[in-house]
Amino acid sequence: MQNRAKALRRAAELRERISDYLKARETIPSGRELAAEIRKRRTRILKVLGGSEADWDDWHWHMKNRITDVSVLRQIIDLSEEDARSIAEVGAKFRWSISPYYASLMDPNDRLDPVYLQSVPSSLEYDSKGDPDPMCEEETSPAPAITRRYPDRLIIKVTNQCPMYCRHCQRRRAIGEIDQHTPAEHLQEAIAYIRSNPEIRDVLITGGDALMLDDSTLDWLLTELDRISHVEIKRIGTRTLVTLPQRITDDLCRMLEKHHPLYINTQFNSPVEVTDEAAAAADRLTRAGIPLGNQAVLLKGINNNEHVMKKLNHELLKIRVRPYYIFHPKCVTGTTHFRCRVEEGLQIMENLRGYTSGLAVPTYIINAPGGLGKTPMLPEYLISWSNDSITLRTWENQVVRYPNYEGHLENEAEQEEPA
């Protein structure tokens, strides 16, 4: 009975530790919780664009009807004359495009809505701070379409096209005025480079958005990689689960299923983006045997909040997408208004580790400037160490000593010194 009483007191303490989140999560809606409202917005958008319910399920229709004009956007969300003028002026310098699906997630009356902030041009983009290419991709490209920063893996960039041009995009320098897929001869040169470098075991196909390629082209590229014996795994980088889940068709999944081991990483940044349609797309991919990971970007005003990030990660696990990374925002020209302090990211990690399941705890990453690669950022849990012990801090800020010694195998201990 004494142990049970102690356990009950401890359970009450643990419940109290997440009481603030239990209260806050009721004010942080997910897209699935907003399903009825999103359906109403979809109806309005279809009327504006002259589409049907069948059109809504066709990803080609969404691409043909991407919103790129302020006059159309004003029919979908409420914009003042000043808002509209500012968007048009910024849009004349910095290209923008929003898929009808993603527009349906946007609160039409809220200028601080996370979907609005990620998709609609802002005068804050005129800020000249930052670097067009902070990761030095142009200087780490040993062959056409390739970026290589690590010993055993590299990136192939296959297109500059996306369903939507995120305002925080790290490659906004590559968007250009028109959508362009990487020429076939450049892809062939990239394949040849990989074939001639046997240390490359992991290839990431990205863009732009890799799933903007048609199924046959993507099938060809994956087949070429399959034929290289030292390529162990392929990965695809795509945000279509977030911005255009209709792209995840049964035909696409059947094609991808031929190319295991294959992994897909996406980028959900807000719980609002986790919708029923995104869940259905994730389900189709996981049923095809493709593990899914999420690479969120820490964005000011969108998810730089411990409760929002926790709710996002919980919603992702429900649809079988594993939180993988939280990227600190890069110093990209025109995006610095999204930047947060590193301390905010560390505080979020403090309030994930121990406070929720390990599956819901991604790795917080800073991309080192100059193309020096991903650097994990962790709260300080190791305080000190010596030959026989370490001092560590637990997730509850308790300081404890832990034994630190090396064991010996029995036969090793009995082994005699050589004569």
Rounded-to-integer distance, Cα 180 and Cα 182, Å: 6
Question: Which amino acid type is present at position 385?
Answer: W
328 and 248 part of one domain = yes
CATH no. for residue 277? 3.20.20.70
Q: Do residues 55 and 194 share a domain?
A: yes
pLDDT score, position 128: 76
Ranges of the chain whose pLDDT falls below 50: 413-419
User: Is 257 in the same domain as 386?
Assistant: no
Closest CA to 155 of 332, 367, 335, 301: 367
- Is residue 9 included in any domain, yes or no? no
Closest CA to 308 of 28, 17, 22, 18: 28
Residues 272 and 184 in one domain: yes
Q: Are residues 132 and 274 in the same domain?
A: yes
Residue 328 and residue 406 share a domain = no
C-alpha dihedral (359, 361, 362, 363), degrees to nearest 10: -130
Range list of β-strands (E), 98-173? 146-147, 153-157
**pLDDT score, position 145:** 95
Does residue 6 sit within a domain?
no
* pLDDT (0 to 100) of residue 148: 95
As a whole number of angstroms, the distance between CA 48 and CA 51 comes to 8
pLDDT in tens, 92-151: 888 999 999 999 999 999 999 999 999 999 999 898 787 777 766 778 899 999 999 999
DSSP 327-356: EPPP-BTT-GGG---HHHHHHHHHTTBTTB
Cα-flanking dihedrals φ and ψ of residue 262, to 5°?
Answer: -135, 135
pTM, rounded to two decimals: 0.93
Asked if the structure places residue 345 within a domain, the reply is yes
pLDDT for 139: 80
Q: Is residue 283 part of a domain?
A: yes
Q: Is the domain of 345 the same as that of 411?
A: no
Question: How many beta carbons lie within 10 A of that of residue 121, not counting itself?
Answer: 21
Write down the pLDDT at residue 88: 95
209 found inside a domain? yes
Q: Find out whether the peptide bond into 261 is cis, omega within 30 degrees of 0.
A: yes
323, 361 in Cβ contact below 8 A?
A: yes
| Residues 285 and 400 placed together within one structural domain of the fold | no
In this prediction, residue 410 carries a pLDDT of 64
Q: Is there a single domain that holds both residue 368 and residue 392? A: no
- pLDDT at position 419 is 42
Residue 370 lies in a domain: yes
Verify that 393 and 357 share a domain, yes or no.
no
* Residue 19, domain member (yes or no): no
**Which structural domain, as residue segments, surrounds residue 133?**
25-379
In a domain, 5, yes or no: no
pLDDT on residue 413: 46
Same domain, 208 and 305: yes
What is the predicted pLDDT for the residue at 408? 67
